[in-house]
Structure 1
Amino acid sequence: MRVLLVEDDEPVAESLRRGLVRYGFEVSWVTTGAAALAEADPYDLVLLDLGLPDTDGLDVCRALRRRGDVPIIVISARSDETDRVVGLEIGADDYVSKPFGVREVVARIRAVLRRARPAEQQAAAGPDRYGPRLTVDRRAARVRLDGAELPLTPKEYDLLAFLTEEPGALMSREQIMEAVWDANWFGPTKTLDVHVAALRRKLAGAVAIEAVRGVGFRLVVAPVPAASPDDSP
């Protein structure tokens, strides 16, 4: 999934780019409206800032929409309701106001893409499977263990959904806190350990959440058991 990010504020763009990459998106970053309109490589979605140095982002949005139906999410510090209405009326699919968290942007991207994808493709996608016992249905925000729905708190689900984005990858505590508790979280990270412990209890035997001291956590999917000789026909 390739995202074209049009943003001239380097700290904002870098933070957003890193966050999107962690969620599995490929990001191409440009800083001007002219560069966005000149982008030759195909992309699946546009994140478009309105306050660009060379032109008004609304004009870029209008030009992109005339070219095709690629989803566009406007991101802006402008809080005026008029800008939101105009952006949506000229073809933007959604609008995110600064400051925002990466998780909010990812959630909006997924919602826009679900609306843009044909219904039959959505149905075909189905839940994601991790090993023989665990499935995560991100569309419905439901987790099943051995076919039965597993009761999770909202934060337990968010944590599991993040760790299963890339099984086996080591995620730092800072990455997890930013993704699950948002970049503006200023509380203790002990809450992360509490939620990891709860998930370990509920998912014992299906997946493991390994701790790397001083760094963070990785999710490891339990392998499919090898068949014994007695199981052969």
Structure 2
Amino acid sequence: SQLSLMDLMLVCNIVPKMAVNFLSGRKSISFVGCGIQIGLFVSLVGSEGLLLGLMAYDRYVAISHPLHYPILMSQRVCLQIAGGSWAFGILDGMIQMVAAMTFPYCGSRNVDHFFCEVPALLKLACADTSLFENLLFGCCVFMLLLPFSIIMASYACILAAVLCMNSAQARKKALATCSSHLTAVSLFYGAAMFIYLRPKHYGTPSHDKVVSVFYTVLTPMLN
């Protein structure tokens, strides 16, 4: 339910304004509106990334320790997972939004993207943003690689448990339990890592726009 809520809010944050701009031909957004879009986007993407990572632990418990599942994944634990994901995501979003909005923008006001994103906005700043960009990269590494490490560890344990199963039907059921989550993780993390963890001189704005569609529209729609 929390993943669905995050995805619904993410789609509502990006798609309506994008559709209005395309259909009306007036491709504009206010400075305050841009800041709000950045804050919501970063908060929701960060929260979803952490939640997808922690959901891998849920799959591991369901497959490797099914009899202990009600205890290990109690309502209290689920609330802690959801609350922790929201808290870290919102904190990340607030920090990035405030920092991005404090830079002076005295030149071109044309954001080369279909929504307000921090890297695209920083290209327009008429001040030295190198320190903030380094901090932003470090934050992205933490917010992406930490849950991705949890996912890899969880699925390594799941694979070991599946290989030890004697029943072909049990193996099939276990893989079916993980397939939808793996699909969402592959699309979300593949696109996000391509955008935020690659060297600066690789890629073009047009490539960024295409890849961004995956984790702003396609993955939320599938979820």
Tell me if TM exceeds 0.5: no
Tell me which of the two structures has the higher relative contact order, counting C-alpha pairs closer than 8 angstroms and 6 or more residues apart. Answer: 2
Q: Which structure has greater strand proportion?
A: 1
Question: Larger Cα Rg: Structure 1 or Structure 2?
Answer: 1
TM-score of the two chains, using structure 2 as the length reference: 0.27
